[in-house]
Structure 1
Amino acid sequence: MTLDITTLRVAFGALAVTLFVLFYTVAFRQTRSAYSAWWCAAIAFFFTGSFAYLLDGTVHQVWANPLGNMLLVMGATSVWAGARTLRTSKPAWLQLSAAPLLTLLASVVDSPATNTWSGGPVFLGMMSLTIGLASWELWRLPSSYSRVQAPLAFASGFLALLYLGRCVAFVAGGQDGHVFTTYFGSGITTLITMLLLVVVSFSAAALSAEQIATDLRRRADRDSLTGLLNRAGFLDLARVQVDRLARTSSPGTLILADLDFFKAVNDTHGHPAGDAVLKAFADASTDTVRSTDLVGRYGGEEFVFLLPGASVARSEDITREVSRALRGHSAPGGIQMPTVSYGVAALEAADYDLDASIAAADRALYAAKAGGRNRSVRAVRPPRRTGSAEQVQAHFRLQ
């Protein structure tokens, strides 16, 4: 069966336009993400490049053929740029323009008025390179990033290998060679590319939808003022961490912190000053603890920490470091940073109950307030088998 390349190119263009409209309205307008923008650009370049090829065999071929080659490579480069934004930042403009400009130059100097495959080896090679780079960027994402990154990477990798095979066959046997015309001709590859474009576009739309869901979850779990986990977000992650500690019989510590006389800051200097103090404490906390520790705003001027693997003694050291870091922060209008009281409760083999640990830390925090503030108090809970009431053992330490 002979594939009519002109009909296939018209169909490819119509498909590209349809996918562009769908992707723009469904994915890009909702996410406004860099990835969605680059994918919209890629589809637009693929469409315009395919349209330019329809002028082959006319007097316009001399400029349309090099332009079509360049536009398709620009589309593939946009796919790479979009994949790169998922992991790091977009490539520099020099990186983005190198492949299209080299393709245009090779096509212009290779008799485009009479040669429909002007610059063919460079064009095929650049398509393989840029799409292959996109596949590599997708494979490098963490496996937990998305459910569709693997299909995207696979489809991109397959298309890159297809263009690599075309390039090798073209160089080895020329554009009229048996292998190239039989297995890698424009009709076959256009049909395959159409199918892959559909698969990749729907996978890209699914990825954009997942980005929306991830962003909404992140916003729902975060305190808008401090950027820390909010109460619900902290408790969800803390339960997972505590279960992990229980399975491995590892120690951990929970800390409740409360800013001393915080109401006086709001009453004297206004709520903007109070907000600045809360942000300063959040910064002091995140700068002090490890990336594996959890820090959340528990409510008002009260904060909560979960330190997996940390002993109570080490946690008391951390409370001093946080208070020291807070004192080092500057506040508007020369406001003096408040002191902080802490309640510290151990998570250990005797009891990995998160709610009970929070309650114990809260009682210890109350004891710290009653004992003069600006100190940490250690809560010691006896094993449950004793049946005795929980007690609080205070270790007063001025911060």
Structure 2
Amino acid sequence: MAYWGVHHFVIRGTSEMALDTATLRASFGLMAFVLGLLFYFSAYRTTRSPYSGWWCIALLFFLFGSAAFLLNGTGHQWWANPLGNVLLVHGGVAVWAGARSLRTKMLKRWAFTVFPLVTLLASVVDNPGTNTWAGGPVFLAAMSMTIGLASRELWRLEPGYSRVRIPMAAAAGGVSVFYFGRLVGFLLDGPDGPVFDTFFGSAVTTLVTMVMLVVVSFSMAALSTEQQTRALKMVATRDDLTGLLNRKAFLDLAAEQLADPAAARASGALIMADLDHFKTVNDTYGHAAGDRALQAFAVACTDTVRSTDLAGRYGGEEFVLLLPGASADRAEHIADEVSRRLARASMADGVQMPTVSYGVATYDAGTAGMDALIASADAALYTAKSLGRNRTARSDRIG
């Protein structure tokens, strides 16, 4: 963040301006270095969160990228200037990757090469030996895009995330808009123009950077801590093999949902699922094949249900799905779709995926609770097995 606003400068005719620019760069370099050390020891070493790791990397890119611009006006400018552009854009990509990690999403590998590579090519062909703004439009566009995408990721965090995500998203969005303004000013007025110099020159840029730095300094550590807390909570609530909710977590969340006054007046469905002849799969093909079957079924479930539904591993080869608002017909359709997805999954050596039996039970305001609901779905599942397996039975049709 420290260098989002401190980059290229045009050598002026007075030594005072050059000194001011160099002093600003040195000051921000020291600030980024100190901030990086503090953030590494206070956040990353204690939480080991991906977000804090990406921020440490971003600060290093910003630090060395800005340092490269100190060689502007020297015989090394021809390589230092493009290098500074590339390093700063890498910093912007790292900020984007850090923000994306808060949603447990990995940034695509192409982002780490496309943005810096395009910036490098634009800088190299634009006479970097004599032009301190070589590749300027591409550089400004890349910075605006990467920081803007980081802001988008922060805004997309679920509302339950720490409130500090809001100032962080606003700060990143402000920097992105500022860089876009610099791009427009550069294209319309040029780097030496009065409009560009007045609204996007060193003084304004330094002020914007300092404000952003103050904002994020109080937010980065909090987001890193919360990311680690959520990661630990996920480990405690997720099944190690399938990644679905474990039994206790599912039952707790389902009970909370049914106890919610708003949900109590609603209806929904619960599906109990059991992989048919699963012991045969383990005995015939080995436990590794059985594990792959369980994982494939879990993927089929998560690819089929909504984000508001609950999916958990109930035990062994048994799974359970809670579908708020779903009718019995809708639940049966979902079970059929899960089976279709599972059948399309492939296993090594031509091993076929096992079929699945399902039991469906519905609930409404009169349902006694989770125990009664699971008992009804389990009875329907027993019916499906007794009828030959590889089918769905509904509790309202038993007997």
Same fold by TM (over 0.5)?
A: yes
Counterpart Cα distance in 1 of 2:242 and 2:321: 14
2:76 is matched with 63
TM-score by length of 2: 0.70
Sequence identity (%): 45
2:233 is matched with 217
Unpaired segments ≥5 residues, structure 1: 113-117, 381-392
Matched, 1:238 2:254: yes
2:14 is matched with none
> Cα 1:204–1:126, aligned 2, differ >3 Å: closer, same or farther?
farther
1:227 is matched with 243
- 3-state secondary structure, aligned to 2:75: helix
1:97 is matched with 117
- 3-state secondary structure, aligned to 2:320: strand
Matched, 1:9 2:28: no
Does structure 2 retain, via aligned residues, the 8 Å contact 1:80–1:130? no
Does structure 2 retain, via aligned residues, the 8 Å contact 1:27–1:209? yes
**How far apart are 1:366 and its partner, in Å?**
5.1
> Cα 1:239–1:103, aligned 2, differ >3 Å: closer, same or farther?
farther
**How far apart are 1:347 and its partner, in Å?**
0.8
Picking from 134, 141, 146, the partner of 1:134 is 146
Counterpart Cα distance in 1 of 2:276 and 2:325: 28
Counterpart Cα distance in 1 of 2:246 and 2:279: 20
Does structure 2 retain, via aligned residues, the 8 Å contact 1:131–1:156? no
- 3-state secondary structure, aligned to 1:108: coil
> Cα 1:25–1:100, aligned 2, differ >3 Å: closer, same or farther?
farther
Does structure 2 retain, via aligned residues, the 8 Å contact 1:66–1:107? no
Counterpart Cα distance in 2 of 1:326 and 1:66: 54
Does structure 2 retain, via aligned residues, the 8 Å contact 1:128–1:159? no
Picking from 352, 367, 389, the partner of 1:351 is 367
Give the CA RMSD over aligned residues: 4.4
1:256 is matched with 272
> Cα 1:252–1:229, aligned 2, differ >3 Å: closer, same or farther?
same
Q: How many residues align?
A: 369
2:133 is matched with 119
**How far apart are 1:368 and its partner, in Å?**
5.7
Does structure 2 retain, via aligned residues, the 8 Å contact 1:256–1:362? yes
Does structure 1 retain, via aligned residues, the 8 Å contact 2:86–2:117? no
Question: Which residue type is aligned with residue 93 of structure 1?
Answer: T
Does structure 2 retain, via aligned residues, the 8 Å contact 1:254–1:346? yes
> Cα 1:144–1:78, aligned 2, differ >3 Å: closer, same or farther?
same
2:378 is matched with 362
Counterpart Cα distance in 2 of 1:52 and 1:201: 24
> Cα 1:195–1:70, aligned 2, differ >3 Å: closer, same or farther?
farther
Which structure's relative contact order is higher, taking Cα pairs within 8 Å and 6+ residues apart? 2
Question: Which residue type is aligned with residue 144 of structure 2?
Answer: G
Matched, 1:43 2:59: yes
Larger radius of gyration between Structure 1 and Structure 2 = 1
- 3-state secondary structure, aligned to 1:130: helix
Does structure 1 retain, via aligned residues, the 8 Å contact 2:65–2:85? yes
Deviations 1:330-382 (A, max 9, x none): 6677877666554332112432733321233234445666x5662655435xx
